[in-house]
Structure 1
Amino acid sequence: MPTATQSTDMLPIIDFGPFLLGTKEGKITTARKMVDTMKEYGFMYVINHGIPQDDQDKMMEFSRRFFAMSYEKKMKCPHPDDGAHHRGYSSLGKEKIAQMGDDVNKKNVPDIKESYDMGNENLGICNFWPDDEDIPGFKDCIEHYWKICDETTMNFLRAIAIGMDLPEEFLVEAHSNSENQCRLLHYPPTKEEDLRNGDADRISAHTDYGTITLLLQDECGGLEVEDPYNKGVFIPAPYIKGSLVVNTADCLQRWSNDTLRSTMHRVTAPPVVSKTGYTKERYSIPFFVTANHDVIVDALPGTFSDEKPKKYGPITVGDWMTMRMSAGYKAS
């Protein structure tokens, strides 16, 4: 486990333990560090976040077991062809993460990955599950992990609110029945040459759509984050055991009147490549946080003034997410 003062090439490491202890000083200090990091980098490692290591390990193991199943078994819970709601299994190349403004050639480069999505069923959106006989315990494990991530998210939202001089429950109330999504991702071995030459992607450079993202990743490597001081230059964000990678997403950037940064990131060839010329397979589990769909996103108090006017008009979270998600999903 890293110490609170360590950092990687780019990303700061935030120790969330003092916030969870609940002292006024610990909460304020942690909150300010978190918000300052979101302003400057948009990305951070968070340690002592409250999700037990055993739960992280179990979820990663179930992810490996799910993707090791046959195509026929995985397709018992297929993702619907539209991208309005992410649920179920998406096979290799079905989804293409497209960034608004991407040229046609870039949009046609396939993302070499497969995924499985589940989310909040309280919104009337059903999850699609594999047969329990094919992978016993999978449903219970991912539902448990979703709940723990949701609880952790609420603490992060409290910290962000405090760090922005808002009431502590301000953002929590906006996420009381949110469309948070847990995604299992598998990037199979891919020709390193194809990734380096741009003939294939794992995930091309993009920003996330919602409020924040909590990422659990394995040891493989390949996640890269754009340097905020060198546009187009990407720096590795390697695995740190026990940590979560947390980033600002587009809706929160808009909500904060561009005070908080939503940073471009991608997954490409990991730094260590086998002698076969193929990359190692990679597993990761992002937890995408999105506010209630009826919440109106308008510049937060304290983020605008006569000298810094509002950059965006109001929009509901539902309209924002539908617009962004439909643009980023390609049916096959």
Structure 2
Amino acid sequence: MSSVLLGDAHGISVVDFKPFLDGSAKQDVAKAILDSFKRIGFVYLVNHGIPPEKSKAMFEWSKRFFALPEEKKLLAPHPPSGTHHRGYSAPGVEKVTQVYDNKELIANARAKAPDVKESFECGWAENVGMPNIWLPEDVLPGFREACMDFYWTCHETELQILRAVTVALGISEDYLVKYHHAHDNQLRLLHYPSVPAKDLEEEKITRIDAHSDFASITLLLQDHVGGLEVEIPGKPGEFMSAPPIDGALIVNAGDFMMRWSNDVIKSTMHRVRAPPNAKVVDGMIPPRYSIPYFCCPEFSEVVKCLPGTFSDENPAKYEPISVQQYILQRLAATY
């Protein structure tokens, strides 16, 4: 195990994924990932299979997109509906919240401390129910192709991580893979503009409030600035930094995966705040860029608790559920 477990960052395991990919230590890698998921719901992966040059290029595309004038970005507007996560959202429009069924509370939270971030989202090109919304090609030539190439690159790594989870659970390696064809995944480019440090500290504004993700797993690439925080296990409301690690992919489990695993895997609250020891210039926190890739089972599937997560002594806690019913309910609550 020591050869694949490279250490930890504030309690989150740092795992070398290469021995899983090349088959030299699949069980050890799988166990290390599942152990971290069980304990805190997050894991860092190095040698994860996403080529560094592709990650670098996608961050460059992201910066070029967000550097466009506002009126240009709004040529690909995110629809007002929270169930259609595609296109561009301007700063302060979206409010991530853990309240799902009270529109008044959500509106009040947005007014009190808006999320000062902007985003662009895309998904499967042939998704009729949630079509992509692109800029006109002449506004940023090549952007669409770059996004979709990166979308499918991330999907390949997603499948390998799902295989590792099932190997660790002792079930068929392709058990989760058969539910994940990337038809309902989402690639998001995020930009957190430079903001006054005092306003962040006094919570007059937020970057992203505490929340959990809601699908299977999330792959996160982030720049060197930092600011991601994860709730400390057993200490609700207390958070610790999840700092950037050069070349590492952060992977976390979502609420659907926790339910699917009969609560064996944890879905943990996390947020984005002012980065620790940030270089503040003229009272301003530096901008931050990140790229999350949200992985979701096929909407058409109905799933029940995974084999290997329940027994006569520990029965399944959850009835079978439609993926579409579960996910759309959560999507609608983020706007």
TM-score for the superposition, normalised by structure 2: 0.93
Supply the distance in 2 between the matched residues of 1:193 and 1:260 (Cα, whole angstroms): 37
Aligned to 1:204: 209
Among candidates 186, 191, 208, match of residue 186 of structure 1? 191
Residue pair 1:122, 1:177 contacting (<8 A) in 2 also: no
2:287 match:
281
Q: Is the 8 A contact 1:98 1:107 kept in 2?
A: no
2:139 paired with 1:134: yes
Q: Distance in 2 between matches of 1:224 and 1:314?
A: 32
Amino acid of the structure 2 residue aligned with 1:66: F
3-state secondary structure, aligned to 1:31: helix
Percent identity between the aligned chains?
44
Identify which range, 13-22 or 128-137, moves more after superposition.
128-137
Taking a change above 3 Å as real, the CA distance of residues 257 and 4 of structure 1, as seen in their structure-2 partners, is closer
**CA–CA distance in structure 2, aligned partners of residues 328 and 177 of structure 1:** 21
1:64 aligns with 2:63: yes
1:255 and 2:247 correspond:
no
**Aligned partners of 1:157, 1:123: CA distance in 2, in Å?**
23
1:313 positional shift: 2.3
- The runs of 4+ residues in structure 1 deviating greater than 3 Å are 101-108
| CA apart distance, 1:107 | 5.0
So what's the TM-score if we normalise by structure 1?
0.94
Between stretches 122-131 and 222-231, larger displacement belongs to 122-131
Superposed counterparts of 1:44-193, under 5 Å: 44-100=43-99, 106-108=109-111, 109-124=113-128, 125-193=130-198
Q: Find the residue that maps to 2:285 and give its secondary structure.
A: coil
Q: Which amino acid aligns with 2:20?
A: F
Relative to 1, partners in 2 of residues 1:166 and 1:107: Cα closer, same or farther, differing over 3 Å?
farther
Are the equivalent residues in 1 in contact too, given 2:13–2:32 (CA < 8 A)? Answer: no
Paired position in structure 2 for 1:304: 310
Q: Does 1:245 align with 2:246?
A: no
Q: How far does the alpha carbon of each residue in 1:172-194 deviate from its partner, in whole angstroms, 9 at most, with x for none? A: 00112531110000000112122
Amino acid in structure 2 at the alignment position of 1:71: E
Question: What residue identity is the alignment partner of 2:63?
Answer: R
Report the residue type matching 2:83 in the other structure. A
Q: Structure 1 CA distance, aligned partners of 2:166 and 2:308?
A: 11
- CA deviation string 1:39-68 (max 9, x = no partner): 011011100011111000000011001000
1:100 deviates by: 2.7
CA distance in 2, matches of 1:225, 1:278: 23
1:321 paired to 2:322: no
The offset of 1:143, in angstroms, is 1.1
List per-residue Cα deviations over 1:244-302 (Å, max 9, x = no partner). Answer: 11001110001011110001000011121413112111000000000001221321122
Shift in Å at residue 150 of structure 1?
A: 0.5
What's the secondary structure of 1:37's corresponding residue? helix
Q: Distance in 2 between matches of 1:194 and 1:309?
A: 48
Helix, strand or coil for the counterpart of 1:12?
strand
Matches of 2:281 and 2:88, distance apart in 1:
31
Query: For the Cα contact (< 8 Å) 2:197–2:280, is it kept in 1?
Result: no
The corresponding residue for 1:7 is 8
CA distance in 1, matches of 2:126, 2:297: 14
Aligned length: 325
Corresponding position of 2:272: 267
| Alpha carbons 1:79, 1:89 under 8 Å: kept | yes
1:221 paired residue number: 226
* Partner-residue secondary structure (3-state), 1:286: strand
- The Cα offsets for residues 80-100 of structure 1, whole Å up to 9 and x where unpaired, read as 110112110011111111103
